[in-house]
Amino acid sequence: MRAPRLPRLPLATLALAGTLLAAPARALVVPLTGWTPVNGNANLWTDPQGACLVREERHDQAFPAFNTLEEARQFALRLQNALGRGGASEVTAQPVDRPGGWGILAAYTHDEGGVLYRISQLYLSDEGRLRTITASSAQYEASPCVNDMRSFVRYVAN
């Protein structure tokens, strides 16, 4: 089994993301049983089998808050289109309610070196700057960590 990899966002996607989300961020805590930071890095977490990976990144890219559901929907559609043009497949993006505003959750398949990965990526504002929480596993990974990880990103991460 190959360890999951997380893609780097294309600059065009980051630039698009910078056009819209602003609630102060907290440190990432992955409340999943047995998950540990990779090499002591509290921004990169893996499950005990190494089948799933969660990474938090803070970017210098400006990213203001979405104050309405409609603003978030408009951005989600533009993000979905940008990710598709950037080579991702099976792309979806949707607003998700978070304390202090709206975030955007994108899900897509990413091909790296002939291996397909399923990505869930949460876009948040951290005092006006883009912050992403990205979850990754091999596309057809059947470990229990997959659903737990995706639920964490979808419902809990903030």
| 4 located within any domain | no
Domain that holds residue 127: 11-24+50-156
| 39 located within any domain | no
In the prediction, which pLDDT does 23 show? 36
In the prediction, which pLDDT does 133 show? 96
- Using the CB atoms, write b or e for 95-118: b if 16+ within 10 Å: bbebeebbbbbbbbebeeeeeebb
| 30 located within any domain | no
Collapsed DSSP state (helix, strand, coil) of residue 65: coil
Alpha helices in the chain (DSSP H): 11-17, 69-85, 145-151
In the prediction, which pLDDT does 4 show? 53
Predicted model pTM: 0.81
pLDDT lower than 50: segments of the chain: 1-3, 7-26
Q: What is the total count of domains within the chain? A: 1
| 109 located within any domain | yes
| 43 located within any domain | no
In the prediction, which pLDDT does 99 show? 86
| 112 located within any domain | yes
| 134 located within any domain | yes
In the prediction, which pLDDT does 29 show? 73
Which CATH number characterizes residue 109's domain? 3.40.1000
Sequence-separated (6 or more) residues with CB below 8 Å from residue 122: 96, 103, 104, 105, 106, 132, 133, 134, 153, 154, 157
Q: What is the DSSP letter of 6?
A: -
Q: What are phi and psi of 123, to 5 degrees?
A: -105, 120
The predicted-structure confidence for 52-95, as pLDDT tens digits, reads as follows 999 999 999 999 789 899 999 999 999 999 999 999 999 999 99
In the prediction, which pLDDT does 131 show? 94
| 42 located within any domain | no
In the prediction, which pLDDT does 5 show? 52
